[in-house]
Chain A
Amino acid sequence: MEHIRTPKVENVRLVDRVSSKKATLGTLYLTATHVIFVENAPDTRKETWILHSQISTIEKQATTATGCPLLIRCKNFQIIQLVIPQERDCHDVYISLIRLARPVKYEELYCFSFNPKLDKEEREQGWMLIDLDEEYKRMGLPNNYWQLSDVNRDYRVCDSYPTEVYVPKSATAHIIVGSSKFRSRRRFPALSYYYKDNHASICRSSQPLSGFSARCLEDEQMLQAIRKANPGSDFIYVVDTRPKLNAMANRAAGKGYENEDNYSNIKFQFIGIENIHVMRSSLQKMLEVCELKSPSMSNFLWGLENSGWLRHIKAIMDAGIFIAKAVSEEGASVLVHCSDGWDRTAQVCSVASLLLDPHYRTLKGFMVLIEKDWISFGHKFNHRYGNLDGDPKEISPVIDQFIECVWQLMEQFPCAFEFNERFLIHIQHHIYSCQFGNFLCNSQKERQELKIQERTYSLWSHLWKNRADYLNPLFRTDHGQTQESFHLPTAPCNFMYKFWSGMYNRFEKGMQPRQSVTDYLMAVKEESQQLEEELEALEERLEKIQKVQLNGTKVKSKQSEPSKYSGFSTSDNSLANTPQDYSGNMKSFPSRSPSQGDEDSALILTQDNLKSSDPDLSVNSDQESGVEDLSCRSPSGGERAPSEDSEATSQRPYEPTTSLIPKYNIVQSVG
């Protein structure tokens, strides 16, 4: 709190991004965790919340007659423009935010103050949801070829690796330690994914310290051990994900890449993915295009091409496809590295795993994948996403690119993923939000020292709890495609890759027609479920009636007339059976949204977003309104009076609303 120079400024204007002439008047509040803008308009009092850790840049612009403009760009691609009447206030807000947005200690981050009102046990259970031991077991490990090594116990060999790593059985501690000394930051080759169908594997490491001629016997033995762990193939691929030029430049610094002559039976392959600096500026260029107001076709297409962003996405995908094909089609194991083996290597290994194994395309599987390839293997979340104040050159959208690769695949294979776009967007949001402890620090070791699991909550259990919101209604478990790896062409053409407006333009008003398809579909699914339940109920009722008839009860002739049941006339019925009818209902999705309890203010954004791609990030939504909404639109609800003077109904009162709602809730939670 000591950094807040002024906690409240009145008569601030929030400028509309689309038409700069429109602005809403309100009050700006600075709190320890958020910037909050509250509209003055008495009927709405709309609130816009921005988490400090989401702030990417703050720009104070030249003072005008109306006041002093302040431009805030967020890491989740939201842009907020405020005009503060007094220059002095603006300066205070600016200075405060500069400091608040760049905490110097982990303890200042939101996750240490965030309290979702769970007890200790629940928190601990949350952290246990994703279990890597289980995951390796699922892969079929340990087995005759691979074992769990304790060589990195207490991070003795490599401080950015996990303590538990799988290595070939034939790799002794001596070999591993020797190899680690020949690798950047001692990141020795370790298993990332094991493909039990044919014993091929994906391993990862950093670059070798080969310089122009250096050799290391243990490192050569290590690679041989990996090859021998796969009896089906007499060679392994070594994939250097860097452009060849970059790798060669590294040789001058005593690093570099494997010399094929020194290692027996390796096939060496460069795949040119650019480094973090190129990627950072590429994203910057693309975001400039996104900021254009209603860009022309040429502004947009040229801008997008010049940013190179989609070309980089394609490079990552191509690398993933190469590895997935090597493993599944050639049955060869692959060792992947870049320079330090924690950025491009993480991207490529996880894309390849996702292509190979349908498990990673499920909700839980995807969490496991991030836990395995990113969190446990020391992806430097703190540096890359600028959680603490640090070197701006370390910042780069590495995991953003991986998340986009997944989205590109989802677009190409809409039925292959259990989760939807919203899931990806929320994960991206929380990587920057620091609301949960999962992505803190640069390595497992640091997280352990900070006692993250005792002091913060896990995002995974939070997402899992709200999984109904993240399900892809198109997902088919029985579907051939989900059982196996994709049938991908060697390298999909450039035109397959699309601009992800759902991510980068997600704060633009009323975006995302495509995502709304998913929402419609969810609504149709629910409708279908309801109709079925109603059908069941009616059948039961019919049975009753028939029993009554059998008992010799005289049935009034009126009863058999359809007009009797005017409540069910076909026209009423048809009202509820078209997807168009859900245009209202889809707006109710926000209400069931994930994060939305009051605890999760981090996600609270402007109400405009209710209509945008990510409608769920809403505020004050009524948890029950979705249910209400559906029940009132159910074909039977409301329109139907249970007191119709038929004997059957009076004997067994039919209460559609009460019987439907609980079932509806079950449907929701089971998904």
Chain B
Amino acid sequence: MPLQKFHYRNLLLGEHDVPLTCIEQIVTVNDHKRKQKVLGPNQKLKFNPTELIIYCKDFRIVRFRFDESGPESAKKVCLAIAHYSQPTDLQLLFAFEYVGKKYHNSANKINGLPSGGGGGGGRSIAGSGSSQKTPLFETYSDWDREIKRTGASGWRVCSINEGYMISTCLPEYFVVPSSLADQDLKIFSHSFVGRRMPFWCWSHPNGSALVRMALIKDMLQQRKIDQRICNAITKSHPQRSDVYKSDLDKTLPNIQEIQAAFVKLKQLCVNEPFEETEEKWLSSLESTRWLEYVRAFLKHSAELVYMLESKHLSVVLQEEEGRDLSCLVASLVQVMMDPYFRTITGFQSLVQKEWVMAGYQFLDRCNHLKRSEKESPLFLLFLDATWQLLEQHPAAFEFSETYLAVLYDSTWIPLFGTFLFNCPHQRVKQSTEFAISKNIQLGDEKGLKFPSVWDWSLQFSARDRTLFHNPFYIGKSAPCVHNGSGKAFKRTKKSYSSTLRGMPSSLKNGVISDQELLPRRNSLILKLKPDLLQHTDSQHNEMEQYFQEWFSKPVDLHGIILPRVSGTHIKLWKLCYFRWVPEAQISLGGSIMAFHKLSLLADEVDMLSRMLRQQRGGPLEACYAELDQSRMYFRARGPHDASATPDFLSSSFPFSPVGNLCRRSILGTPLSKFLSGAKIWLSTETLANED
């Protein structure tokens, strides 16, 4: 396979760099003695390694040969990597060192630090036209704006947790039913696991709300509190609809099962040589259970969409702690229901809202400290499920699958505060301690400010960032779904009818005529009050019918999108899992070829309409400014651009298996020299200084 000319450059990392947090496992090998050892922390190595294999969390396998290096230094390097990649304390992670340095430096200068909170807001994508900041939901106003954006009446922002006085795993601000007073909430909170009382996620334009909460541990009070909460949620519904409770612990795979599936999936896709699994590929894939789990979450979320949309019921997600499966289900429901969350900014705000702020334990689940038994790839499962939706509705998303893969990889870069902590309180607490120990003056700030992953300019050039854009999704949607204004969501709702207006008349009379018959606000349904906690047969049929009807209509890309969840439709996310596997690469093939061609066309359409606008006498300067702002990575050079396809394209683009050091051509690089200074090289201090 020829070396690839193309490299998607991460500004923070060299081609063969592996962040220490990205290391999954370190294996040392001695060819001659036929020995092999997995290196844990504080371990001894009884042989001189001839080879070092690093299994990475981003699915790379990096191999270093020590053929030309001194045996002792090779051993030292291996032990050093093992040591530093398994830190004993959170504050030893690179972000602390880095931010500490930044603060010290900025004490001399005045404004040396990127703005923003626990992570710094960060504009999403420069030059893209969608330069809104990602709301981080650290402040009262972010939540308030979200309430207004969704038009949720009957809900208010509650600040009883300011200073994390009530719960250390809830955000400082969250949203609750207006009818519940702060005083009541304070009393109730004691009954909930982790004092995680119910909090609001999102409201449908019909008023149905999505709420998540932990279990009520106080058995005596359980019934009473449950009743109070449900009544309050009902009161917040404009139609006083019932509440549908979904017990996620009972209906979905647990985090251990998901972790086990992921380990098997990695074994199959990344670690095992393909020849062994060739014949039994499909059944091996099945036996990992990964796709089954992806399917289960999509299916369950779609059922909740039905409850919210068609049954007009508010939905409460219940889970023991309410900070694992709830994150995934709450986000999937919102991606399906609200087009805003299918934009880049919206998606990022969703991750902030339902994961970072809601207390998803990134530190433990990602296992950054390599000692947690609690590792589980729920966040990846969410990205995978989102990818399935993207695959099934390619024009409904502003972002591309590259964006999703890059976002996953970013969880392993220890520079960003976004994915480092178990909850916002942990950031504040740990970084305050750290600041005190390092003599950093925090002033009014609540803890240190770490760079945010949403500031993509830290990782990628403006041009490379255009690869995040889905060429199917250009145009009006971007300005249309503004964050932060109450009108925005309603405006997108209008496009229901605009899609219909564009329909050929023949179809209006024929196929989609049943559109009007859909029981959107069918009062009959509201009168029914079946026991919703049990799936009765008739209920099940009603739901089936809802899905069927939805699928038999043309999709409104600005409305609800639903996944198809039969086994035929759930697919393996090849770009993510196979991107470093040379055998899986199709040179000049794969969907990137379509992506390339599409980008050119999308760019051409964009360009032509800009030119038209210019002709029609729009302000000239604006036009010139615009002409330079393509949102596409691949650009048309003019109408009917016929320039050849770049020959570096492959099905793994923009990733490249060449980045995988197991290729022979890497042998002979003077790694020995490079690694002999391991002590200095591995010190986080020097890295921070280099910045």
Chain A interface (Cβ < 8 Å from any Cβ of B): 18-19, 21-22, 43-44, 290, 292-302, 304-305, 310-311, 412-415, 473-474, 476, 478-481, 487, 489, 492-496, 499, 501, 505, 509-510, 513, 516-517, 520-521, 524-525, 527-528, 531-532, 534-535, 538-539, 542, 560-562, 564-565, 568, 570, 573-575, 577-581, 583-585, 587-588, 591, 607-608, 610-611, 620-622, 625-626, 628-629, 632-633, 635
Contact = CB atoms under 8 A, between A and B. Distances in A.
B601 interface: yes
Interface in B562-606: 565-570, 572, 574, 578, 583-584, 586-591, 593-594, 597-598, 601-602, 604-606
B617 A535 contact: no
B645 A581 contact: no
A301 B645 contact: no
Contacts of B604: 528
Given A520-B472, A580-B557, 16 more contacts: A43-B513, A292-B567, A297-B295, A301-B282, A414-B590, A414-B593, A474-B594, A478-B642, A513-B392, A568-B616, A577-B476, A577-B606, A580-B477, A583-B499, A583-B502, A611-B554
A583 B605 contact: no
A632 B161 CA distance: 55
A196 B551 CA distance: 51
Interface in B493-520: 498-507, 510-511, 513
B647 A480 contact: yes
B1 to A, nearest CB: 9
Interface stretch (B82-90, B92-100, B329-337, B541-549): B541-549
B605 A527 contact: yes
B506 A538 contact: no
Contact of A524 (B589, B602, B615): B602
A358 to B, nearest CB: 13
Interface in B287-307: 289, 291-292, 295
A633 B499 CA distance: 11
Contacts of B591: 414
Given A481-B588, A501-B568, A621-B506, A562 B618 contact: yes
In the A-B complex, the 5 residue pairs with the closest CB atoms:
A578-B475, A300-B567, A584-B502, A301-B286, A305-B282
A163 to B, nearest CB: 40
Given A294-B566, A415-B645, A610 B511 contact: yes
Contacts of B568: 290, 295, 300, 499, 501, 505
Contacts of B556: 583
B24 interface: no
Given A305-B282, A580-B395, A583-B395, A622 B506 contact: yes
Nearest to A501: B568
Contacts of A564: 617
B511 A611 contact: yes
Nearest to A527: B605
Contacts of B80: none
A480 B597 contact: no
B513 A581 contact: no
Interface in B123-163: none
Contacts of B557: 580, 583
23 contacts: A18-B544, A19-B541, A295-B568, A297-B570, A301-B286, A302-B286, A415-B594, A480-B647, A509-B548, A509-B551, A524-B605, A531-B605, A531-B608, A562-B616, A562-B618, A564-B617, A570-B613, A574-B475, A574-B609, A577-B606, A584-B499, A587-B507, A607-B510
Nearest to A475: B597
Nearest to A513: B392
Contacts of A415: 593-594, 597, 645
Given A578-B475, A580-B558, A635 B609 contact: yes
A98 to B, nearest CB: 32
Contact of B554 (A299, A527, A584): A584
Contact of B292 (A44, A298, A580, A629): A298
A628 B645 contact: no
A625 B619 CA distance: 37
B114 interface: no
B611 interface: yes
A510 B613 contact: no
B506 A413 contact: no
A565 B567 CA distance: 53
B617 A487 contact: no
B435 interface: no
B588 A626 contact: no
A539 B615 contact: yes
Contacts of A510: 551-552
A537 to B, nearest CB: 10
A625 B618 contact: no
A513 B544 contact: no
Contact count band on B = 35 or more
B34 interface: no
A168 to B, nearest CB: 35
Interface in B366-420: 391-396
Given A19-B544, A495-B584, A513-B394, A311 B279 contact: yes
A476 B558 CA distance: 32
A333 B565 CA distance: 48
Contacts of B609: 531, 573-574, 577, 635
A330 to B, nearest CB: 20
A580 B645 contact: no
A538 B615 contact: yes
A557 to B, nearest CB: 13
Nearest to A622: B506
B506 A625 contact: yes
B567 A525 contact: no
Contacts of B501: 584
B475 A480 contact: no
B274 interface: yes
Given A493-B584, A517-B394, A479 B645 contact: yes
A428 to B, nearest CB: 19
Contact of B504 (A478, A493, A591, A607): A591
A56 B279 CA distance: 31
Given A297-B570, A527-B605, A579 B507 contact: no
Contact of A608 (B476, B552, B602, B651): B552
A496 B554 CA distance: 30
Contacts of A570: 613, 618
A19 B548 contact: yes
A641 to B, nearest CB: 14
Contacts of A587: 503-504, 507, 511, 554
Contacts of B574: 495
Contact of A574 (B476, B554, B618): B476
B617 A562 contact: yes
A295 B566 contact: yes
Nearest to B569: A501
B282 A304 contact: yes
Contacts of A629: 502-504
Contacts of B645: 415, 476, 479-481
B278 interface: yes
A528 B639 contact: yes
Contact of A413 (B279, B552, B593, B597): B593
Most buried by B among A473, A495, A587, A608: A495
A608 B510 CA distance: 10
B550 to A, nearest CB: 9
B281 interface: yes
Contacts of A18: 544, 548
Contact of A578 (B282, B474, B587, B618): B474
A633 B395 CA distance: 19
Contacts of B569: 501
Nearest to A619: B510
B442 interface: no
Nearest to A561: B617
Contacts of B81: none
B3 interface: no
A535 B552 contact: no
Query: Which has the most chain B C-beta neighbours within 10 Å: A294, A560, A575, A621?
Result: A294
